[in-house]
Structure 1
Amino acid sequence: MQRWMDKKHLNDNYQKLMAQVYNDPDVREFLEQHQADLSEETIDRSSAKLYEYVNARDRLAAGKTVFAPGYQPALIINDHLIDVTYSPTAEQQEKMRSQTVRQRVNAVMMPKMIREANFDNFARDDQRLAALAAAADFTESYESNPKGFHKGLYLYGSFGVGKTYLLGAIANHLAANGFKTTLVHFPSFAVDMKNAIGDNRVAEKLDTVKKAPVLMLDDIGADSMSAWVRDEVLGVILEYRMQSELPTFFSSNFSMNQLETEHLQITQRGDEEPLKAKRLMQRIRFLASEIAMVGKNRRLD
């Protein structure tokens, strides 16, 4: 083997390569710090690890492909030998933190823009300040005492005034501080619940929503509602959350009074059931404070 290496000049190349490794400032500093623990034999036996460290560090600095993307190497002593350990870079740590935060927001059939929604980018005009202030008050109150009962918000107004965006901003703010939120586009969820009947998954899907630590029901009243969805889906969700005193938010184009008289009390079949509508509205009023949002349609900007 030695003769073969000499013939191919591999031995000289290896010696030159390792000379560069041993003269590397980081390697020299590590060896000096641990000279009491390392013999020449130990250093020689660990040459491959020293090379791995220098190679991985330099490739990472140059933006090249590395063995563990997003992780930076470091030299350690392991079982009396030199070894290489990998820890996440600052960029990787931020990526992991962002992923963790995103996982705390369960968005069910919601627009993608709510993933990036935040208070800083919410339009601060006079017509929206009350809603923004109420959102900030809720997050501060909830974060200081998450086990207490906190009324959510019932945001209503015309199309494109930022109701859904504000819900997303609240959810993302809570997520950044360690709290989980579920946002549901209610008309789409109602369709999904009807489809779940054939799969016998109604109870499972309903439990996921009704037991969410913080729940946001978006676009209530956007579509006509069957008696079954009203009573066995929305009614069950509201009853559970009222009894459990769980924070609940709503967005709608209807005011609370309009939602009761123009939507909830009239079924798809045209039947009027004012008592059932009133019962649901009592629960909504218990769970949330009504706030009007007005302004231009920002979806058209």
Structure 2
Amino acid sequence: MEDVGKELNRIIMSRGVDGRYRQMMEEILDHPDVRQFIEKHKDKLSQEDIEKSFAKLYEFVQEKKKYLASDPTMIAPGYEPQLSLNFHFVDVIYVPTDELLRMKRDVEIRSRINALNMPKDIRNASISTVDWTEGKNDAIDAIMKFIKEYTQRPKDFHKALYLVGTFGVGKTYLLGAAAHELALRGFETTLVHFPTFAGEMKQAISNDQVGPKLNSVKKAQILMIDDIGAESMSEWIRDEVLGVILQHRMQEQLPTFFSSNTNMDDLESYLSLTKNGNEDVLKAKRIMERVRYLSKEITVTGENRRNG
């Protein structure tokens, strides 16, 4: 094809059209992206090819305007229209933008984090947003070490963490950050606020949902039990819920994290007493054997951020 400008003018003038349609054609064929595309493919596009492709060129120009204006009425929101050559015919393809790809990736990552009754900020936690203080350094180092080793050998057993510290020092946020880092690497994590979960399990008895709810937690690829020891625990919750979960995870060697306001020794004493006043040291010891098998205790210190 000869000079693009002359050829486009010839196309416009050769058509017996009224002034309004000619103006529209001029606008479309004068669009910089259209001119550049035709110039690039001038050896493969004849005048007739361009004329037959006019509807697609029109679509491209209109959708490109909407794309640049972030107009939600465009054909494919989040996708950038681009011209493509298809056997001597100009076509329009829609390519996902970097922003759309990022959003899709974020959605995919979040889909790997099953947060049950957890605060919104925990769902959005990440190591990069953790408040790196001296009181958290040991926990962060241990989390990153676990993630590295688990990523390298996901089929092996890896002892997880039991984060202990006073109210508001960021234990739960650290669990959320760990879940996010694991999700980035393709692993699914379930975070459970145990006091709330215990209440839901009691309610599940009436609608015969105990089994499904228990299975969804005990079989999780990676489980994080938040705030263990904060609830008023009945014998049934201790033995038939927590005990069953931990027994399964120990047998299957599934990674299990914990956070608590009490250390392991105090949690054992706490578990030996139920809210009915009954004491069973042996059952508490059995549960703590599983907790100690699954995790190692790491202390987290710092200011109570909930009072900030």
- Residue 26 of structure 2 is aligned with which of 6, 10, 19? 19
Q: Provide the alpha-carbon RMSD of the alignment.
A: 1.5
CA displacement 1:50-97 (0-9 Å, x = unmatched):
011111112211233322211111122346532211121111111111
- The 5-angstrom pairing of residues 127-166 of structure 1 reads 127-166=135-174
SS at match of 1:220: coil
Deviates most, 115-124 or 155-164: 115-124
- The 5-angstrom pairing of residues 154-193 of structure 1 reads 154-193=162-201
SS at match of 1:289: strand
- Residue 240 of structure 1 is aligned with which of 232, 243, 248? 248
**1:55 matched to 2:62:** yes
Deviates most, 116-125 or 177-186: 116-125
Cross-structure match for 2:264: 256
- The 5-angstrom pairing of residues 20-169 of structure 1 reads 20-65=27-72, 66-78=74-86, 81-169=89-177
Cross-structure match for 1:210: 218
CA displacement 1:193-222 (0-9 Å, x = unmatched):
111112212111111111111100000011
Deviation at 1:36, TM superposition (A): 4.4
- Cα distance in 2 for partners of 1:30, 1:199 equals 64
Q: TM-score, normalised on structure 2?
A: 0.90
**1:275 matched to 2:273:** no
Cross-structure match for 1:4: none
Structure 1 unaligned spans of 5+? 1-9
- Residue 291 of structure 1 is aligned with which of 275, 278, 298? 298
Deviates most, 182-191 or 199-208: 199-208
- Cα distance in 1 for partners of 2:186, 2:204 equals 31
Query: Which structure 1 residue ranges, 4+ long, deviate > 6 Å from structure 2?
Result: none
- Cα distance in 1 for partners of 2:191, 2:273 equals 26
Q: Which amino acid aligns with 1:226?
A: S
- Cα distance in 1 for partners of 2:18, 2:237 equals 78
Deviates most, 126-135 or 215-224: 126-135
Q: Which amino acid aligns with 2:230?
A: A
CA displacement 1:251-285 (0-9 Å, x = unmatched):
01111011111x21111211001111000000000
Deviates most, 25-34 or 94-103: 25-34
- Cα distance in 1 for partners of 2:280, 2:147 equals 36
Q: Which amino acid aligns with 2:38?
A: L
Q: Which amino acid aligns with 2:116?
A: V
Q: TM-score, normalised on structure 1?
A: 0.92
Q: Which amino acid aligns with 1:132?
A: I
Cross-structure match for 2:228: 220
SS at match of 1:198: coil
SS at match of 1:54: helix
Q: Which amino acid aligns with 2:58?
A: Y
How many residues end up aligned between the 2 structures? 291
- Cα distance in 2 for partners of 1:35, 1:212 equals 58
Q: Which amino acid aligns with 1:159?
A: F
Deviates most, 76-85 or 226-235: 76-85
- Cα distance in 1 for partners of 2:299, 2:180 equals 22
Deviation at 1:134, TM superposition (A): 0.8
Deviation at 1:128, TM superposition (A): 1.8
Q: Which amino acid aligns with 2:212?
A: E
Deviation at 1:292, TM superposition (A): 1.4
Deviation at 1:160, TM superposition (A): 0.2
- Cα distance in 1 for partners of 2:129, 2:295 equals 24
